[in-house]
Every structure is written in C-alpha cells, then in structure tokens.
C-alpha cells in the first residue's frame, strides 16, 4: 500500500513539475515577445517620451506600398525603412511635426493619415456632396415637369371630351327625339 502511495505521489510531483515548467516557459516567452515591435525589431529608446512619440508616429504614418496600412503594422521593406528613419529622426532631435513633414516631403501626402486641408483634399469631400445635391435637384425638377405635363394633358383631354360630349349631345338629341317620337306613335297605334 505504501508502494502504491509512493507511485501516486511520484506521478503527482511529476505532473506538478511539468505544470510549473509550462507556466514558466509561457511567461518567459510572453515577456520576451514584448521586447520586440510588431515586425520583430528590437528598438531601444532614450526615454518614455521618445518611445511615445515613436509609437504615435508609426501609427500615424501610412505605408506607401500597402493598402491603407500604417508603417507599424506593415511588413513591407519601405515600411521598415520608414520606421528606421522615424527612429533616426527622433534620435537627431526632430519634433513630431518635423518627422511628419520629412515623410510627406519624401513620400507625398499619401504617407500621412491626416493630410492638411487643401483645395485638393476639400474637393474629395465637397464633390460627392455636390453630386448628390445636383441629383436631388434634377429629380425634383423632373418630377415637377412631368406632373405639369400630365396636368396639361388632363386639362386638354377634359376640354376636348367636354366639347365632343356637347357636339354628340346635340346630334344625338335630335336622333333620340326622332326615335322617341317614332316609338310613341307606334305605341299609340297598338292601343
């Protein structure tokens, strides 16, 4: 019985040791992964302010090669180069706006997620609204002109039908009077 108990105790201690190893490895792996950026690069910063500025910039700058993806999430070579250049510019003492200006000068307005308001960018907002407004105006005018044409046609038809009715009534009245008189005469003869 003691032998069975010892076997069970040995199995339990082996299980506990395995569990501790798995938890330790998971913790170490997780801590190690946090030292890397999303693209697997290790980046060292002078202080927390520089780290914060870098993280804001890489989220705000767009990869010129990728479809609507910031340089922090992109694995493209150009995005990696932009991240390296961003870090280098921050190390040189550039401000956040100076880094953005540098990237815009180098890669164009597409490289910045928040482009400044210019005539070109305002047209992107104004033209669709103008087209919708124009379409609404055209539809309203068209429905008004169709209803006017329909009203005019209805009035013309009513006037013409009334004239025809009067015309037919005079001719038909004479004919109906003649038929009525003929019927009355034939009815009197039968009596």
Name which residue leads in pLDDT, 7 or 99.
99
pLDDT digits (tens, 9 = 90+) for 48-88: 999 999 999 999 999 988 878 899 888 899 999 999 999 99
Indicate the number of domains in the chain.
Answer: 3
Dihedral pair phi/psi, residue 65, rounded to 5°? -85, -35
Here the CATH number for the domain that contains residue 104 is 1.10.8.640
CA distance 186 to 191: 9
- The 3-state DSSP composition of the chain as helix, strand, coil percent (nearest 5) reads 75, 5, 20
Mean pLDDT for all residues in the chain: 77
pLDDT reported for residue 31: 33
pLDDT reported for residue 11: 56
Q: What's the average model confidence in pLDDT over 102-115?
A: 86
Place of tokens 């307005």: 109
Would you say 63 and 80 are in contact if contact means Cβ atoms under 8 Å apart?
no
Q: Are residues 157 and 100 in the same domain?
A: no
Confidence of residue 185 (pLDDT cuts 50, 70, 90): confident
pTM over 0.85: no
Q: Are residues 61 and 83 in the same domain?
A: yes
Flag whether 191 is in a domain: no
Flag whether 189 is in a domain: no
Give yes or no for residue 162 having a pLDDT over 80: no
Q: Domain range for residue 31?
A: 1-35
């Amino acid at each position: 019985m003691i032998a069975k108990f010892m076997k069970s105790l040995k199995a339990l201690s082996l299980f506990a040791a395995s569990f501790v190893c798995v938890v330790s490895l998971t913790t170490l792996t997780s801590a190690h992964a946090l030292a890397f950026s999303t693209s697997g690069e290790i980046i060292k910063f002078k202080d927390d302010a520089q780290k914060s500025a870098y993280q804001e910039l890489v989220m705000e700058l767009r990869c010129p090669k990728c479809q609507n993806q910031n340089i922090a999430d992109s694995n493209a070579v150009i995005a990696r180069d932009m991240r390296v250049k961003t870090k280098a510019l921050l190390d040189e003492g550039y401000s956040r706006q100076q880094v953005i200006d540098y990237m815009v000068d180098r890669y164009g307005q597409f490289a910045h997620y928040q482009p400044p308001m210019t005539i070109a960018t305002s047209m992107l907002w104004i033209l669709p609204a103008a087209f919708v407004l124009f379409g609404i105006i055209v539809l309203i005018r068209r429905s008004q002109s169709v209803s006017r044409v329909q009203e005019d046609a209805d009035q013309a038809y009513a006037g013409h039908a009334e004239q025809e009715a009067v015309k037919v009534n005079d001719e038909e009245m004479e004919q109906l009077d003649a038929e009525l008189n003929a019927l009355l005469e034939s009815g009197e003869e039968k009596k």
